[in-house]
Amino acid sequence: MNLAETSDLLALIARYDNRRIDDATVVAWQAVLQDLELPDCQAAVVRHTAGSDAYLKPFHIRQLVKLIRDENRKGQAEPLALPSRFEADEIRDQRIANGVTVLADHWKAPDGPPTDDLHGQALVRARRERGKRPVPGQRGSRVGGKQIKMPKLVPPPWANPDVAEQQAIQLLHESGKACGRRSCLRCQS
């Protein structure tokens, strides 16, 4: 759908809900609905306003167009072009080419960039942003091209049983209590 068709669609919607339309609105809606056909969108608008009082958004139109297309597909029986046992190769090749053409016309690809392209752009952006700040827990992260030395993680002192015992003895001595060890000179005096 181009900008003129999107403008016509928004004019139809404005007749139902009295919304204001400007150029920015037309451009924004066209970006979302560019791969849909105008008659399908108009049918979706009519169906939405007949069955809902919710404020119509492009998302609703996309959902309803998909629903309408699915309903239309279910109602139509596809004629089968079964191969004949005595069919010549030229006729079979022509039948296959016709089938490919029908499918290509029926399943049009969107006009926008391919999904892989968008995915690649997102990966490049994520990698670029990730490179600006260090990732916690990752040693040697880069910030602005400079290597950052992350501190080595060491366990806390109380995780070692010997250190924990020494700290407990020190706390007992500071509070004026005996630690109970025979070899302690502070407790014997």
pLDDT in tens, 108-161: 655 555 555 667 777 777 777 776 554 444 554 454 555 656 666 666 766 778
Of 73, 91, 107, which residue sits at a domain end?
Answer: 73
pTM of the model: 0.42
Q: How many domains does the chain divide into? A: 2
Domain-embedded: residue 48: yes
DSSP state, 9?
Answer: H
- As a whole number of angstroms, the distance between CA 72 and CA 75 comes to 5
Q: Give me the domain span that covers residue 183.
A: 158-188
Of 33, 48, 73, which residue sits at a domain end?
Answer: 73
Domain-embedded: residue 2: yes
Q: Other C-beta atoms within 10 Å of 135: how many?
A: 11
- As a whole number of angstroms, the distance between CA 58 and CA 41 comes to 10
Domain-embedded: residue 64: yes
- As a whole number of angstroms, the distance between CA 127 and CA 131 comes to 6
Write out the H or E segment, with its range, that includes residue 62: helix 58-75
Mean pLDDT, range 19-30, rounded to an integer:
90
Per residue in 61-109, pLDDT (tens digit) is 999 999 988 888 776 666 666 666 777 778 878 888 888 888 777 766 5
Of 28, 55, 73, which residue sits at a domain end?
Answer: 73
